[in-house]
Amino acid sequence: MDVRVGDVIQTKKPHPCGASSFHVLRVGADFRIRCTKCGREVMLARSKIEKNIKKIVRDGETL
């Protein structure tokens, strides 16, 4: 799956705050993402994130 820094991902599983979209801050074996609502940052393994992605938004366009 092609996720890049700067993308916004929509996830199947929401953050505890209720939002389900995250800014992608870092990609690699582990991803760092930031919740668009509460601003918390989370580190997650790529494999976990890929299973949880519903869609990717890049430059305002849904991929």
Binding positions for Zn ion, rule: CB under 5 A: 15, 17, 19, 35, 37-38
H helix or E strand, kind and range, residue 49: helix 46-52
- Closest separation in Å from C-beta 15 to Zn ion: 4
CA 8: distance to chain centroid?
Answer: 6
- Closest separation in Å from C-beta 40 to Zn ion: 5
- Closest separation in Å from C-beta 58 to Zn ion: 21
| One-character DSSP codes across 2-45 | ---TT-EEEESSPPTTS--EEEEEE-SSEEEEEETTT--EEEEE
Smaller CB separation from Zn ion, 32 or 61: 32
Smaller CB separation from Zn ion, 2 or 32: 32
